[in-house]
Amino acid sequence: MNDRNIYKLTALDMDGTLLTPDKRLLDETVRDIAAYAQAGGIPVFCSGRTATEIGPYQSMLPTMRYAVCENGALIWDYKEQRSLSERPLDLAFAERIIEVGNRFDGMLQFLTPDASWTRRDQVTHMADFLMAAYQPIYMKVARLADDMLALARSLPKILKINIYFRSPEDRAAGYELLKDMNVSFAFTEIAVLEMSAIGVDKGSGLEILAEKLGIPMEQTMAIGDAGNDLEMLKAAAFPVAMGNATDEVKALCLAVTDDDLNNGVGKAIRCWSGLFDEGAANAD
């Protein structure tokens, strides 16, 4: 052990960070996360995904008990199978979001505390929405509806709504029609617009979880690659950018690790968490 700072809680983005571009977990990444947990660290998912969408990966990473889901709208405990925090979207916004999604023939997704909902006739051709890599997991875990407006009116709460547009240009135009709403927006993937309650983001979600676990933010590390990771990286004491991260993310972070095809997460944890002997890993 060395005298470096100890980062006991590490938040891990999934797409572009924990997972390869084809949505796989590398064996060495699984190994390094397990070693971090064995050394006393607490690795947590920090994702825009629902708890059910994260579930198949959590089964491969059983040491990851907690997840900051849906960009911070939901904190989930996999061991107890319950939510620790929920911050729902005002349902008054739902009809307007649905109208804009339909205007651009986009794919709508509603995220609730226990499910991911989308339209039955869209989930089978997600390539049209530039999201083909996600189709296998959606076919496995998504709940399907024929009428998203009727569904929105029937749900007791929605934590996040996504519109998967058919192009970045459509997303930009759709955002212009929605930007005056009092919600938090995130631009993700190639053409996705995500909407949550005001003040909800990965950073505030990480802060809520850290407080519940009794871990000061001075002992947190976060690893990410894209725009919706910025608040998480700002909140953490030691932010790390993936090698494949955007320039904006790299400029914000204190360190840059390897990319998502070369175990950037595992290398960062071993190099900078303070729970391993110095030199246990080499990161860029």
Residues 134 and 147 in one domain: yes
Q: Are 191 and 173 in contact (CB under 8 A)?
A: no
Residues 145 and 237 in one domain: no
Q: Tokens representing 231?
A: 């608040």
- What total of structural domains would you count in the chain? 2
**Domain annotation covers residue 1:** no
Residues 185 and 206 in one domain: no
Q: Rounded to the nearest 10 degrees, how much is the dihedral formed by the CA atoms of 7, 9, 10, 13? A: -160
Q: What is the pLDDT of residues 128-176, one digit of tens each?
A: 999 999 999 999 999 999 999 999 999 999 999 999 999 999 999 999 9
List the domain range (segments joined by +) for residue 125. Answer: 91-197
Residues 67 and 79 in one domain: yes
Nearest to 13 by CA among 86, 69, 60, 85: 69
Residues 209 and 173 in one domain: no
Q: Tokens representing 230?
A: 């910025």
Mean pLDDT, the chain, whole residue set: 94
Single pTM value for the model? 0.89
pLDDT band for 282, please (50, 70, 90 cuts). very low
Residues 78 and 161 in one domain: no
Residue at a domain's end among 179, 197, 215:
197
Q: Taking the CB of residue 157, how many other CB atoms lie within 10 A of it?
A: 13
**Domain annotation covers residue 281:** no
Backbone torsions φ then ψ of 200, nearest 5 degrees: -90, 125
The rounded distance, in Å, linking the Cα atoms of 152 and 154 is 5
Residues 264 and 211 in one domain: yes
Nearest to 46 by CA among 10, 77, 11, 19: 11
